[in-house]
């Protein structure tokens, strides 16, 4: 778990080096008072550190908060859902 822009960038550097492509099937499960609980089935494909193609998939769980400008920002993002 990391916090802050610099730490997030450092934590994701190896991930971004894979040149990932992701497909999402997102669903909102519940929304009230500017808070939403969502889930997504996802498939991620890219190039592993060994140069070979790699594929991962799973189902995520997220909590998002509506911002004053109407956009949404995640406050909890668990890419592996309830596993």
Long-range CB contacts (within 8 A, 24+) of 43-51: 44/20, 45/20, 45/21, 46/18, 46/19, 46/20, 46/21, 47/18, 47/19, 48/18, 49/14, 49/17
- What is the domain range of residue 46? 20-78
CATH code at position 32: 3.10.450.50
| pLDDT digit string, tens, across residues 3-42 | 899 999 998 898 888 999 999 999 999 999 999 999 999 9
Percent of the chain whose pLDDT exceeds 70: 99
Q: How many independent structural domains does the chain possess?
A: 1
Whether residue 31 is contained in a domain is answered as yes
pLDDT band at 46 (very low <50, low <70, confident <90, very high): very high
Q: What is the pLDDT of residue 15?
A: 84
């Amino acid at each position: 778990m990391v916090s802050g822009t610099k730490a997030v960038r450092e934590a994701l550097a190896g991930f971004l080096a894979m040149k990932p492509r992701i497909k999402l099937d997102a669903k909102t499960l519940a929304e009230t008072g500017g808070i939403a609980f969502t889930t997504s089935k996802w498939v991620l494909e890219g190039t592993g550190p060994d140069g070979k193609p790699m594929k991962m998939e799973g189902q995520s769980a997220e909590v998002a908060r509506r911002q004053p400008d109407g956009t949404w920002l995640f406050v909890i993002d668990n890419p592996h859902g309830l596993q």
